[in-house]
Amino acid sequence: MSAAGALETLARRTLSGKGAHVGTKDVFSALDWKAAGSKPRGIPHSAYQILNHMSYWQDWVVRWLEGKKPAVPRHASGGWPGGLGPANRREWDDAVKQFRRGLTELERRCRGVDLPSGRGKNSRIEMLRSIGAHNSYHAGQVVFVRQLLGKWPPPSGGLTW
């Protein structure tokens, strides 16, 4: 495999969670909308809040990869859009779809491009690695919240050890 092919594979695996944890795209599977808005005692965020945060930063990185200059929020709270929970099932389903679309778009942007190139201080591969690590961190938080709610693993299975 070429160096470029190895970087592409590495970036896609980082985004997917492959080999490290349950698939990033699957961490929200089969979670009902009411549970998604629940925040167990002592936990700072609901699964819904984490989902919106992950989507926010995925979309930010996509814009950066498109050559745009997305603004960085002045405060951390700016990267946590939305409320505690969705208003209904449709809002939850739409949020999950948006997250998965963003993840698919990031994976698409790994293919056939010069990943070491970039602009300023960051290369494409660094941005993809960063968002992949960010998603992995928060995917673990979602699994923990789901465990506390008795909603893990999903019916399709998941790593439980």
Q: Are 139 and 17 in contact (CB under 8 A)?
A: yes
Q: Which domains does the chain have, with CATH numbers?
A: 3-148 (1.20.120.450)
Residues 27 and 136: their CA atoms lie apart, in Å, by 10
Residuewise pLDDT in 10s, the chain (161 residues): 898 899 999 999 999 998 888 889 999 999 999 999 999 999 999 999 999 999 999 999 999 999 999 999 999 999 999 999 999 999 999 999 999 999 999 999 999 999 999 888 999 999 999 999 999 999 999 999 999 999 998 877 766 55
Residues 29 and 103: their CA atoms lie apart, in Å, by 15
What's the number of CA atoms in the CB half-sphere (13 Å) around residue 159? Answer: 15
Query: By CB neighbour count within 10 A (0-12 exposed, 13-18 middle, 19+ buried), where does 119 fall?
Result: exposed
Record the pTM: 0.94
